[in-house]
Amino acid sequence: MKQIKMIGALVIMCISGQVLLFGHAHAQGNKILVFSKTAGFHHGSIKQGVAAIQQLGSEHGVAVDTTIDAAKFTDANLKQYAAVIFLSTTGDVLDDAQQQAFERYIQAGNGYVGIHAAADCEYDWPWYGKLSGAYFAGHPAPQEAVLDVVDKDFPATRGLPSKWKRLDEWYRFRQFSREVNVLINLDENSYDPAEQGMGNPHPISWYQAYDGGRAFYTGLGHTEESFSEPLFLQHLWGGIVYAMGL
């Protein structure tokens, strides 16, 4: 009888351990971090972006933490998140130790989402440039343009029109990675690029598997109004879902 009780206790301990393990995985799979520190230009739309992602998380059962504190980039803290969103971050926002922690986080199979000025960030960190897929090179004044949705078989583009006309601040890029999978191109014939454009095609949103993890970037999201547009929010949430690995 004593042996049976011991075996029963071990079984309960094993089951409990599995519950805790699955519980942690579930928590990680349903929690994201929005990072919006700026060391350069500060977009006024960050406030609306944070609120919109919080609302999207609430609607889809995903917990959303937000921070401008780079000290949150530690191994211990990052491991609770399925994805980290860089929301219009600019300039040098992470120190060397924080960068290394984030590299390990991605290498462990987690996700990154870059929104708009996330490409105007960390120019002296080549790994980040490859993760985001490109660096910012310039833009004309905000104006309407036509987007060509070239891959509609992806969470961030399903349901979008093939020709999507909207107003935003249209980035051109440098050090663009040819390893990414382009989702949307900007039609340079549909707006005035003012300075020299990238030519056609002009990628504006893409995704990739990178260094063990997943990365999604969208150049959209400059305006405050973007974060109340149903199609843009659909696009953004699809990219977040991909980065989370759901």
Report, as an integer, the average pLDDT of 58-79. Answer: 98
Question: Looking at residue 196, what is its pLDDT?
Answer: 73
Residue among 158, 77, 145, 90 at smallest CA distance from 118 = 90
Confidence label for 199 from pLDDT (cuts 50, 70 and 90): confident
- Beta-bridge mates of residue 32: 64, 83
The pairing of strands 111-115 and 163-168 is unpaired
Q: In terms of C-beta density within 10 A (0-12 exposed, 13-18 middle, 19 or more buried), how is residue 89 classed?
A: buried
Confidence label for 17 from pLDDT (cuts 50, 70 and 90): very low
The answer, yes or no, to whether residue 9 has pLDDT greater than 60, is no
Beta-carbon contacts of 118 under 8 Å, excluding residues fewer than 6 positions away, are: 86, 87, 88, 89, 132, 217
Report, as an integer, the average pLDDT of 36-65. Answer: 97
Neighbours of 146 (CB within 10 A): 16
The answer, yes or no, to whether residue 166 has pLDDT greater than 80, is yes
Residue pair 83/106 in contact (Cβ under 8 Å)? The answer is no
Q: Which of 54-68, 147-161, 181-195 has the lowest mean pLDDT?
A: 181-195
Question: Looking at residue 29, what is its pLDDT?
Answer: 60
The answer, yes or no, to whether residue 21 has pLDDT greater than 50, is no
Q: Is the peptide bond before 201 cis (omega within 30 degrees of 0)?
A: yes
Please name each of the domains of the chain with its CATH number. 31-244 (3.40.50.880)
Share of the chain above pLDDT 90, in %: 84
What beta strand segments (E) does 23-131 contain?
A: 31-35, 63-67, 83-87, 111-115
Span between the terminal Cα atoms of the chain, in Å = 46
Report, as an integer, the average pLDDT of 40-44. Answer: 92
The answer, yes or no, to whether residue 212 has pLDDT greater than 80, is yes
The answer, yes or no, to whether residue 19 has pLDDT greater than 50, is no
Please write the tens of the pLDDT for every residue from 216-225: 999 999 999 9
